[in-house]
Structure 1
Amino acid sequence: MDRRQFLKWGSFLTVTVATGGLTACGGGSDSEPQDTGNPENFSFVHGVASGDPKPDSVVLWTRVEGNNGKRPVVVRLQVSTQPDFPPPSLLVNQPLMARPEWDYTIRNKVTGLTAGTRYYYRFLLGNRPSTVGRTRTAAAAGTPLAQLRIAFVSCQDWNANHWAGMEELVQQDLDFIVHVGDYIYEAVPGGSRAGNVEERHTALQLPNGTVLPDGSVYATTLDDYRFLYRSYRSDPRLQALHAAFPMIAIWDDHEFSDNSWQDRQTYDSDDDLTPRTARRRAANQAWFEYLPADVSLDTDNPSFQNIQIYRSFTFGNLATLLMTDERLYRADHIIPEESTGRAVGSLFFVPAATLAAAEAQKIAAAGNTLTPVSMLGDTQRAWWQDRVGGAATTWKLWGNQVSLLRMQVDVTQAVANLIARALVLANSALSSLQSAIADALASDLRAAKAAGTYANLAYTALRNVLSQAGIDAATFDANIKPFIESRLPAIALLDRFILNADQWDGYNAERKNLVGFLKANNIRNVVGLSGDFHAFFAGQVMDDYDAATPAPVMVDLATAGLSSNSLLSGFRAIVDNDQAFAALRELVYSNVGGAVVNTFDTTLRTFNPWIRHADTNTEGYALVTLTPDKLSCTFHTLKLLDGGTAPAQPATASTKVLEVVAGTADVSVL
């Protein structure tokens, strides 16, 4: 028997050695499966995939579909350096077993490969081949590399917009793809989705599922999660993307449950009081079955933490990539939803001072440890510090699900700015005083906030400024004061707010700890590759965003959803449908001549000077080129749906190029 073709069985992640020797994962029988010919009623309908490229190995994946009474099916794997698989070039020609207990998926780690080399692979059912996939191993650690080209993507919702960006990505020349989460969305919408998604993505119906008050249904069982992965993988565009490049993937929340933490779901304000261990384990297993990741799952472990997916990669002397898990170990949100009765005030639009005080209280109660306010958990945090501290490469990339950038709005100042602009539009003689008017009004509004009421607000500062323009007390009381008060929000909104406490803004103490570690150890060229927020962002990660003079330490690049609703659309829904926020509408968008104008980008840039680029009304993907001297990132904004049809190629409507020069902690918009 050819030693290269020998394989042990007994575990779902099998291992094949391409060049001599034998290995296995999990032990088992020394006999290999017998190739019994053409398996009945089975075919390849979900494509092939590769992932987790290392200098000497890669994980290969496929699934067979059919029915034979739930018996195992023999599938042969072939790996070659040639796309036509001539027999002399075969490095692997190995029968494998697709087992029903793993939903007939196969995950095989091929070892003994040559670093920095392209390989081709395919699977066979008898003499019927799958699609041919191509993959590439990583350059060996320390190998001088002139360039590395990758894409990073996030949020590919079947139920929103389109997947034309995948077709475009396939045409790129990439070393690998980084997926930072939301590969699937666990909830399928109820009712009609007309106008929201391409017609070729038909409505999905879960085998089981649980119905939410809005009529949508969320995955609950292993069958549900498997159904979602099978559905997503049925699209030939996603299949082509997997066949073209190896993928390094991590999950975010929707692979389990929206805004989740550990094994807790958050659909209702008190949902997370109840563990959902069985549901979390089902989500873990389905992800493990369908993503070609070099990780292990312990089904005998009854915990929901029966899988570890955080891991690291090295690409020559150029880049280290850390992929972190920011859901399975994170503590509850600093302000639980139960305390506010809804997500607003807990996860979204949270008063910054309230959030900071709650975090400090939790830290103090835990003996000044980060455990109750951690996103990574103590063990993973130590691992992150060890890996980034020991990285000997020029660049340290962090595959990070949720943005590290502070995103805040000082509503008091923002409202004052809006009213000042409106006053100037109504009276052009005030144009030279617009800035002074805004600052004076903000001062008056802060006095009202301190008093807890608008009653008896004297507008002392504003009256003084307007008196310079000849506006006397009687004119102010008769005209200016009613004009202002018709535009004031509820006094509770006169505060500085954190937009999203499900991101790193909600785990600020741990963010400061991690960034402080980089600063204390002079670790440079660290760049976050982030997702989740359905918008493009680029900016500086500061050592302490609340300091008088925060110092930049690293850069965060956040990609928009590849196929999602935009961040702007979500905030538009709030200011349009929640009367409490109606007075803030112009901070999000304005209506000019019947056209919607995005003002949200400007609002965010105004109150977050570390943000160098923001585009909150977009879908797309990011391409990154690394050299020893710089990191270049191109955000690709995709065209809109044309009725129910994805746009024709090229799918990109526009691009934005950003650059990080080695040795700096800043990003330039070119």
Structure 2
Amino acid sequence: MDRRQFLKWGSFMTVTIATGGLTACGGGDDGDEPDTGNPENFNFVHGVASGDPKPDSVVVWTRVEGNNGKRPVVVRLQVSTQQDFAPQSLLVNEPLMARPEWDYTIRNKVTGLTAGTRYFYRFLLGNRASTVGRTRTAAAAGTPLSQLRFAFVSCQDWNANHWAGMEELVQQDLDFIVHVGDYIYEAVPGGSRAGLVEDRHTALQLPNGTVLPDASVYATTLDDYRYLYRSYRSDTRLQALHAAFPMIAIWDDHEFSDNCWQDRQTYDSDDDQTPRTARRRAASQAWFEYLPADVSLDTSNPSFQNIQIYRSFTFGNLATLLMTDERLYRANHVMPEETIGRTVGSLYLVPADTLAATEAQKISAAGNALTPVSMLGDTQRAWWQDRVGGANTTWKLWGNQLSLLRMQVDVTKAIADLIARALVQAHSALSSLQSAIASALESDLATAKAAGTYANLAYTELRNLLSQAGIDAAAFDANIRPLIESRLPAISLLDRFILNTDQWDGFNAERKNLMAFLKANSVRNVVALSGDIHGFFGGQVMDDYDAASPMPVMVDLVTAGLSSNSLLSSFRALVDNDQEFAALRELIYSDVGGVLFNAFDNTLRAFNSWIRHADTNAEGYALVTLTPDKLSCTFHTLKSVSGGVAPALPATASTRVLEVAAGTADVSVL
């Protein structure tokens, strides 16, 4: 394969050595003649970025706009220890090629750098310079490190709320940013956008796209995905964030397709029966082109698995960071959508016992292998165990897109509690019996559930209890029974439900396997940095959530979306718009005089004792200060859009601090 062919089909990454010259693929001057036109025709409108800091290297990025789409453009990279780029301070001063086959993006790995050092970088078109970026290398492995400060973020939807949080983050003094996925959203709304969105984020129009029944349009081609990245990177606040700090990024689902697995999409109940290999490859290539990640893409490999983005980082003796890919290798959901016919019941609000039985059947059919019920895949799981087990740093951080926390609701008990409270409010003389009423009613509802109908529900336990309080059968039928039956949900909802099986709750056997590995090897101080679910959470990851006495093994901290609409809003829409779930409204929220009260947080805490903190009605980000003694995480909840305008700084409305002490697997909420 000659050099020109390698440039066309190989993994595009140029490499420069500090104080040296260009050493690797992508920087040659053979092949197509570069565009030598007036540099004034070109610009760096999408800013600059750096990523994947290691002790001796970092990846830098930019994109050239104004090209003709046919010929490469010469760009000069400068890296310096000084912000003024004085000639004697230049460590790199090399020409690079922005090539059309990579959408005129430049990804260059600068090697030969000094550990734990700040550097400045910029790109030049002739004498016209880009924004100056600043970056920092990691401390050398084993070096005593007293502190790390970083943020972790997720879910930055262009079409929801605002991006003022990015502007606020730039003011922090951070070593790096961890992005745990949903950097873009592949679908854009059709027609008017629902909800609050800042006016500066104008409506997006994909060049190709595929229209869904709700009139939204999802990215389908490489041009579509590139368009989304270009649009997102046109926001000067995101540009400033990238210019300020190196980013360590992983993808989640929306960089390809909502709730995806491997090369399958899940927009309708049988959608994932058809491979979407070309679409998956296009999504992967666009991510590769626009994120400054030290990874390789093999375009000559026809598989959809032609890129590996799981990787690890070490920061002195303080922290190891593992970034996992929880989409490209995962098996189909344990309860495939086609078996249910819709996402509710297959991905969301799935009966816990049905889920467990189905997972056990799949494992048994595979000879007790985890392969058909795995999120990581066999190879990546072995890699994870090797890296976390071999880490000799104080802390082991896991850049993990999807929460590891069990999130369940026992609707039978929850409804019994709600009805008991309503009975006491209607009949104050029963106030001392509220707890007993709830227990009796829960027993009666369990009997109805077993029968599969309310038709013969006699309320035996509740009648016996209330008869002792002087309420006879006639009074019960006249005053108690009507109130109860006005609040009963569909009989099918009397069950224990898993909230979301797209996250680790849907891959419980593999989660238990990972926790067993940590326990067996006495691996401590493991903390996951998670996102996806659009809420703030902190809690314990247990060895077996279904055991009589589960034991904590590690901690999961979950950040809300930077802009994506909250988890509460999604469940509020469900109970408001689907009559089957209307009886559950009080478990989600109440509306008193037009004022919304969030009940969802307390509902989740009531049925998940390992969750120490829950805020389901938030957008924001997480700031972490890490020392040998503790991890301190501050959740920043952002103010709302007002009149189409993002809030002025400070954009934070409130904060909550969570701490993890070294040597423990628990969270303190301050």
Shorter-chain TM band: over 0.9
1:186-223 alpha-carbon deviations (Å, 9 max, x no partner): 00001112652000000000000000000100000000
1:501-559 alpha-carbon deviations (Å, 9 max, x no partner): 00000000000000110011110000000000000000000000000100000000000
Q: 2:590: which partner in 1?
A: 590
What's the offset of the Cα at 1:596?
Answer: 1.2
2:550 match: secondary structure: coil
Q: 1:526: which partner in 2?
A: 526
Q: 1:234: which partner in 2?
A: 234
Contact 2:160 2:195 in 1 (8 A): no
| Residue 452, structure 1, aligned to residue 452, structure 2 | yes
Q: After TM superposition, list the pairs within 5 Å mapping 1:279-294 onto structure 2.
A: 279-294=279-294
User: Which blocks of at least 5 consecutive residues in structure 1 are unaligned?
Assistant: 1-7
Q: After TM superposition, list the pairs within 5 Å mapping 1:336-347 onto structure 2.
A: 336-347=336-347
Q: After TM superposition, list the pairs within 5 Å mapping 1:621-640 onto structure 2.
A: 621-640=621-640
What's the offset of the Cα at 1:482?
Answer: 1.4
1:234 match: secondary structure: coil
2:492 match: secondary structure: helix
For 1:345 and 1:621, locate their aligned partners in 2 and report how far apart those are by CA, in whole Å.
30
Q: 1:508: which partner in 2?
A: 508
Contact 1:41 1:68 in 2 (8 A): no
1:157-188 alpha-carbon deviations (Å, 9 max, x no partner): 00000000000000000000000000000000
For 1:497 and 1:312, locate their aligned partners in 2 and report how far apart those are by CA, in whole Å.
35
The code of the aligned residue for 2:44 comes to F
Q: 2:245: which partner in 1?
A: 245
| Residue 655, structure 1, aligned to residue 655, structure 2 | yes
Q: 2:23: which partner in 1?
A: 23
Identity value in percent: 86
What's the offset of the Cα at 1:26?
Answer: 7.9
- 1:31 to 1:99, Cα distance in 2 relative to 1, 3 A: closer
2:39 match: secondary structure: coil
For 1:392 and 1:37, locate their aligned partners in 2 and report how far apart those are by CA, in whole Å.
53
Contact 1:11 1:27 in 2 (8 A): no
Contact 1:334 1:506 in 2 (8 A): yes
Q: Which has the larger displacement, 69-78 or 504-513? A: 69-78
1:96 match: secondary structure: strand
Q: 2:563: which partner in 1?
A: 563
The code of the aligned residue for 1:157 comes to D
For 1:109 and 1:30, locate their aligned partners in 2 and report how far apart those are by CA, in whole Å.
21
The code of the aligned residue for 1:327 comes to R
The code of the aligned residue for 1:452 comes to G
The code of the aligned residue for 1:576 comes to D
- 1:575 to 1:11, Cα distance in 2 relative to 1, 3 A: closer
1:271-293 alpha-carbon deviations (Å, 9 max, x no partner): 00000000000000000000000
What's the offset of the Cα at 1:67?
Answer: 2.7
For 1:172 and 1:439, locate their aligned partners in 2 and report how far apart those are by CA, in whole Å.
51
The code of the aligned residue for 2:67 comes to N
Contact 1:76 1:93 in 2 (8 A): yes
1:511 match: secondary structure: helix
Q: 2:543: which partner in 1?
A: 543
The code of the aligned residue for 1:367 comes to G
Q: 2:352: which partner in 1?
A: 352
What's the offset of the Cα at 1:28?
Answer: 6.9
The 4+ residue runs of structure 1 with deviation greater than 6 A are: 26-35
1:409 match: secondary structure: strand
Q: Which has the larger displacement, 446-455 or 327-336? A: 446-455
1:1-43 alpha-carbon deviations (Å, 9 max, x no partner): xxxxxxx977520100014486324897799998958536211
- 1:243 to 1:205, Cα distance in 2 relative to 1, 3 A: same
For 2:610 and 2:195, locate their aligned partners in 1 and report how far apart those are by CA, in whole Å.
36
The code of the aligned residue for 2:123 comes to F
The code of the aligned residue for 2:665 comes to A
What's the offset of the Cα at 1:85?
Answer: 0.1
For 1:625 and 1:436, locate their aligned partners in 2 and report how far apart those are by CA, in whole Å.
46
Q: 1:387: which partner in 2?
A: 387
- 1:31 to 1:228, Cα distance in 2 relative to 1, 3 A: closer
Contact 1:156 1:564 in 2 (8 A): yes
Contact 2:69 2:100 in 1 (8 A): no
What's the offset of the Cα at 1:594?
Answer: 2.0
The code of the aligned residue for 2:555 comes to V
Contact 1:221 1:282 in 2 (8 A): yes
TM-score, normalised with respect to structure 2? 0.97
Q: After TM superposition, list the pairs within 5 Å mapping 1:362-401 onto structure 2.
A: 362-401=362-401
Contact 1:163 1:237 in 2 (8 A): yes
Q: Which has the larger displacement, 393-402 or 39-48? A: 39-48
The code of the aligned residue for 1:359 comes to E
For 1:172 and 1:638, locate their aligned partners in 2 and report how far apart those are by CA, in whole Å.
16
- 1:203 to 1:531, Cα distance in 2 relative to 1, 3 A: same
- 1:35 to 1:221, Cα distance in 2 relative to 1, 3 A: closer
For 1:507 and 1:212, locate their aligned partners in 2 and report how far apart those are by CA, in whole Å.
29
What's the offset of the Cα at 1:468?
Answer: 2.9
For 2:475 and 2:493, locate their aligned partners in 1 and report how far apart those are by CA, in whole Å.
28
- 1:225 to 1:524, Cα distance in 2 relative to 1, 3 A: same
What's the offset of the Cα at 1:593?
Answer: 2.0
For 1:635 and 1:293, locate their aligned partners in 2 and report how far apart those are by CA, in whole Å.
26
The code of the aligned residue for 1:416 comes to A
Alignment length, in residue pairs?
663
Q: 1:3: which partner in 2?
A: none
1:362-405 alpha-carbon deviations (Å, 9 max, x no partner): 00000000000000000000000000000000000000000000
